[in-house]
A and B are shown apart, each in its own frame.
Chain A
Amino acid sequence: MYRYDEFDSTIVQERVEQFRGQVARRLAGELTEDQFRPLRLKNGLYLQLHAYMLRIAVPYGVLSSKQVRKLAYIARRYDRGYGHFTTRQNIQFHWPQLPDVPDILQHLAEVEMHAIQTSGNCIRNVTADQFAGVAADEIEDPRIWAEIVRQWSTFHPEFSYLPRKFKIAVTGAPDDRAAVRVHDIGLRIVKNEAGEAGFEVWVGGGLGRTPIIAVRIRKFLPKEHLLSYLEAILRVYNLLGRRDNIYKARIKILVQATGGDKFAAMVEEEWEKIKDGPLHLPQAEIERIHRYFAPPSYETLDHIDPAFETAKLENPEFARWARTNLAKHKVPGYAIVNVALKLEGATPGDASADQMDVLADLADEYSLKEVRVTHHQNIVLPNVRKRDLFALWQRLKSANLATSNLGFISDIIACPGLDYCNLANARSIPVAQRLSRHFSDPRKLDAIGELRLNISGCINACGHHHVGHIGILGVDKQGQEFYQVTLGGSSKDDASLGKIVGASFSEDDIVPAIDTIIETYLANRADKAERFLDYYRRVGMDPFKEALYGPATARRPAAE
């Protein structure tokens, strides 16, 4: 697994001491809030509704068991005993006290963690496929490239004051688990006709108030040119991106205004000037980073483990969990385990300190000391022997971590919403909790099949509602919370943005409305193999509109 080098240790330690001084000066009155705000944001510290919030970077979603244990310690000692895993593979603590934050950062530094690049108009913490390095369908491990991007982007002086925040995602598999087409830059590792691996480059995707699917500006970029090409994109954006209007400042607006082809031409022109300069990646450097991610010592095992197969036969509950929560590992005899933080009635993405400790212990015992965070707000134990799965499942079950709903309607993405967030218009979490209770019967989940339901508490779309098969957006109507429903979104290879079904629903009506949508789908789909998204794409919005609002002739025009 990746370890910090001496540069990382030094800059993180220096940053802790800088921030300790800045907090002391703020508390002593030497800095005003206006002066302090940009400094605290550069250290991931926000001021929310009820308290400060500290967002901690988890580069490309990879954590060691030691780091998870430290997060549990921080949750207990400095917060309220829990943490919230986010859609950017990070973790947030919602109740830290300002004088404690330098100490928290010091604790994080001791396990090679920090809160750098989790806020502000810089290149944010890079995200990646949560199955990186272990997925059976992977072309190449994206962690190497995510790490190279991390090293290049951290404190990059030219890109520290971009027009707006900037998010890069990397995937190395054809099945896009990193939502690359809704990022400012999405990188897909692909092979060219000669069989060489390189990058397909997507630019200008994003959600928020202007959701846009990225455009592909390069079909194939040789790997050694990755950084110079990224630098060219960022330079064009930094020079031409709008700074006069925060709502039009993201690169997606520039790409749309310029046109994808013209934007690509500008990038290529800039790239020609720098591609053979200092950012050209020497093979030796690529290999050095590769060695950080050398595969652990896997045992030589058979694909089929008899004990695992027997346990599934003897225990239907375990069999169901194995069917829904496991993914195919590249090494025979191993499995990737998804731990859903989506317990019925609980907060999506929340884990208590005790649960974090359990996850750290299980990673030590069963997963070669490694844990991953997913942008679906779940956890992954990436390296589990099939023979250990039953024992692992029993341990997860006793810690309320064995929910068998991965990829189903109750595996909900939800932002913190108006229960915590200063920007939100409506609550997300209570809606997610009610929906997870409503759709708790495993037989019902099986009947519905694959379904992504995402909830955001405001138009900033941290809950990715635009790319949910069903999306819910909280809106404020004269002090009351209402919920707008979108259908047909996807963040995968077939990326699409959901469309608004009609007038929004009150807090009391939103769960029945989702139930109506599901019943409409179940009653009318061609067969069980036709997923909700497939059905929507085949028939469109009309059956849902009619079920929700009555026949078109009797309907008033929708308000939204």
Chain B
Amino acid sequence: MAAAAAPQMVTANRLSDGAVVYFTASKGWSENFTDGAVWSDKESADGALSASEEAVKARLVVGPYLFDVAVTEAGPKPTSARERIRADHKPTFEPDTGSWTGPIAD
């Protein structure tokens, strides 16, 4: 018997600025990871991915895809480093964006 598929979510990048967005239960999109819908079986996940293609046609998002999450008591968590970083919408350190006069934070 095949192993049970991991719960999944649908994500994409917004067309206008490339920002990370998540497909919600109401078939909308949100920048907040926690707003994203979790699909616990392959059939519903594939269905969500198909539904998300409407937003591609509507020029809202680019390249939707499914990714695995682990459902914990605190809510769903991405299982890959890549998706953990995407969910934060920024690098894991503070880029050298501003004036140089202050020390770079640890």
Contacts and interface: CB of A to CB of B under 8 A. Distances in A.
A26 B79 CA distance: 33
Contacts of B86: 49-50
A50 B62 contact: no
A52 B106 contact: no
Interface in B35-71: 56-57, 59, 62-63
A27 B59 CA distance: 7
Taking each of B15, B56, B91, B105, which has the highest tally of chain A beta carbons within 10 Å of its own beta carbon?
Answer: B91
Interface in B1-57: 13, 15-20, 56-57
Most interface-central of A50, A99, A354 (chain B CB within 10 A):
A50
Given A48-B18, A354-B98, A479-B79, 11 more contacts: A49-B86, A51-B18, A82-B96, A94-B95, A346-B104, A350-B96, A352-B97, A354-B99, A420-B91, A424-B82, A433-B93
Nearest to A352: B96
A414 B42 CA distance: 38
B17 A479 contact: no
Q: Say which size band chain A's interface belongs to.
A: 35 or more
Interface of B is mostly: loop
Contact of A418 (B16, B85, B100, B105): B85
Contact of A400 (B20, B56, B100): B100
A427 B89 CA distance: 15
A94 B89 CA distance: 12
A98 B17 contact: yes
Interface string A12-55: 00000000000000111100010000000000000111111000
Contacts of B63: 33, 47
A50 B90 contact: yes
Given A33-B56, A82-B97, A355-B100, A480 B81 contact: yes
Interface of A: 26-29, 33, 47-52, 80-82, 94, 97-99, 343-347, 350-352, 354-355, 399-401, 418-420, 424, 426-427, 429-430, 433, 437, 476, 479-481
B99 to A, nearest CB: 6
Given A33-B63, A50-B86, A346-B104, A81 B20 contact: no
A419 B93 contact: yes
A392 to B, nearest CB: 16
A33 B90 CA distance: 24
A418 to B, nearest CB: 6
